[in-house]
Amino acid sequence: MNLIAISINHRTAPVELREAVYLKEDEIRPFINLAKENEIKEGLILSTCNRTEIFGIPNNNEASHEKFQKLLLNFKAAQNISEHNFQKFISRDAIRHLFSVATGIDSLLIGDNQVFKQVKDSFQVAEETNFAGYIMHRIFDAAIRTGKRAISETAISEGAVTISYAAVQLTEKIFSNLSKKSALVIGTGETGEIAAKHLSEKGIGSLAVTNRTQEKAEKLAEKLNAKVIPFDDFKESIYKFDIIISATAAPDILVRKDDVKTALKKRSNNPMILMDIAVPRDIDPATKEIDYVFYHDLDSLNIIVDQNLAKRKSEIPKVEKIIEEEIDNFWEWYNSLQAAPAIKDLRDFFEDIRNEEVEKNKNKFSSEDQEKLDIVTKRIINKILHHPTIELRKADENSNSVDAPTKIGIIRDLFGINSKKKSEKD
């Protein structure tokens, strides 16, 4: 199979080079057209902030990885990118690479399931632009199945691997029902905003935000349907909250141990979670000594993140096993698209039908006519199959083209003739 793939990714190139070849949404379709003009009949373009990949089945033998690279570099007018910034794959390895990307084991953040969505989106674009033919379509199906199996059969995407998710995971180990809890987010910068969003997505009962610049807090509050607390006296109201997440750029401690002690007394020792995700810290670390106060900072949240990443890493062999199984399945199907066995299966299929009907009806004929019946029906079958057989042999001679397998695949689908091996398995 002459599936060719090139990949420039987080392992082969620094971010500025990846940015230089990144194909924006409105660039992908023109690029596909360009590829088609350059005799790449079927293929797939995947471009994210961490990788840009081109998969393609060229029309002839002359196409090579270099041609793919040139196509991309000329299209983006990118410079300073050399040969070694690209990974190259062919045939079975190319499929393996696509499956690895789809399952997230090739990602910077192992098991990242965002990439699975991006892969699926790129399939959609390929289909919409008629860039995915019969074979490519089958590869997409297999890749999606592999991705789904990796998620459901292994723990490759389990556990929080970002700080803000780790904070939520920790919260869920303390409180059972977030919808009955209230939270305050101090500081509405990028980190604070993400944390507030996560809490809101998890269905927090009531959410409040506070920020030195009141307008910024109001803006975020409007987006998330939250309350705004004036920054100057937020300390007086911390006792009202079960969860406090702080992420300001303040250089000094904002919440002192005594503030928390007073708050806890006011709420008759109802547990409080304090998440300090600011650098430098906003909440006095000594608050962790207070009973019923769960204080956590970036260091402790990073422990969770690291543990989950290690766990995901240990799942990679399981995912690789699934990938190999799916490649084998695909390959078995692909091999059934060779001309010789396909012609034999097709002929056997017709012969079986002929035989069955002759056996069923031969008693209606005299014994002399029975022999004639056999000869005549055989002749009909031969005549019907003559042209398809010639066509398939001819297509097969041009062995690198996807024409022959595509034709054979369609014939097999139409008549419902699967390869022998497969039907035995079923």
Partner 1 sequence: MISSIHTINILLPIFYFATLVVYFYDFLKGEVKLVNVKRVFLFITLFLHLVYIVMRTIAFDHPPITNVFEIFTILAITISFSYFLVELVSDIRGTGPFIIILPLIFQLISSLFIQDLTEVKEVLRSNLLGIHVISALLGYSGFTISAVYGFLYLVLYKDIKLNKFGLIFNRLPNLEVLERLSLYSAIIGFIALTIAIIIGVIWLPVAFPKFSYLDPKLIGTLLVWLLYAIGITSKVLGNWRGKRLVTLSIAGFMVAILSTILSNFLAQSFHSFY
Active site residue 49: yes
Tokens describing residue 294: 């769960």
Residue 285 makes contact with partner 1 by CB under 8 A = no
CB-neighbour burial class of residue 105 (10 A; exposed 0-12, middle 13-18, buried 19+): buried
Q: Give the nearer residue to partner 1 in terms of CB position, either 39 or 158.
A: 158
Contact 291, 268 (CB under 8 A): no
Q: What is the pattern of x (binds partner 1, CB under 8 A) and - over residues 7-26?
A: --------------------
**Residue count of the chain:** 426
Residue 205 makes contact with partner 1 by CB under 8 A = no
Residue type, 107: S
Q: Give the nearer residue to partner 1 in terms of CB position, either 292 or 415.
A: 292
For strands 293-297 and 272-276, give the pairing.
Answer: parallel
Q: Give the nearer residue to partner 1 in terms of CB position, either 220 or 275.
A: 275
Pick the binder of partner 1 from 271, 285, 341, 388 (CB under 8 A): 271
Residues 143-172 that bind partner 1 (CB under 8 A): 170, 172
CA distances 333 to 4, 322, 330, 340, 420, Å, are: 19, 17, 5, 14, 11
- Distance, in Å, from the CA atom of 274 to the CA atom of 46, rounded to the nearest integer, reads 41
For strands 4-9 and 51-58, give the pairing.
Answer: antiparallel
Q: Give the nearer residue to partner 1 in terms of CB position, either 141 or 289.
A: 289
Pick the binder of partner 1 from 15, 108, 249, 303 (CB under 8 A): 303
Pick the binder of partner 1 from 82, 269, 361, 366 (CB under 8 A): 269
Q: Minimum Å distance from CB 107 to partner 1?
A: 23
Pick the binder of partner 1 from 79, 80, 176, 225 (CB under 8 A): 176
Residue 296 makes contact with partner 1 by CB under 8 A = yes
Pick the binder of partner 1 from 79, 177, 225, 363 (CB under 8 A): 177
Contact 175, 181 (CB under 8 A): yes
Work out the number of other CB atoms within 10 angstroms of the CB of residue 289. Answer: 10
Q: Give the nearer residue to partner 1 in terms of CB position, either 59 or 308.
A: 308
Q: Give the nearer residue to partner 1 in terms of CB position, either 252 or 291.
A: 291
- Distance, in Å, from the CA atom of 104 to the CA atom of 167, rounded to the nearest integer, reads 23
Q: What is the pattern of x (binds partner 1, CB under 8 A) and - over residues 213-252?
A: ----------------------------------------
Phi, psi dihedrals of residue 282, rounded to the nearest 5° = -100, -30
Residue 421 makes contact with partner 1 by CB under 8 A = no
Residue 304 makes contact with partner 1 by CB under 8 A = yes
Tokens describing residue 182: 């209230």
Residue of 15, 49, 249, 303 with catalytic role: 49
Q: Reduced to 3 states, what is the DSSP secondary structure of residue 353?
A: helix
CA distances 31 to 74, 75, 85, 264, 396, Å, are: 11, 7, 20, 61, 30
Catalytic residues: 49
Residues that bind partner 1 (CB under 8 A): 170, 172-177, 268-271, 288, 291-292, 294, 296, 299-300, 303-304, 307
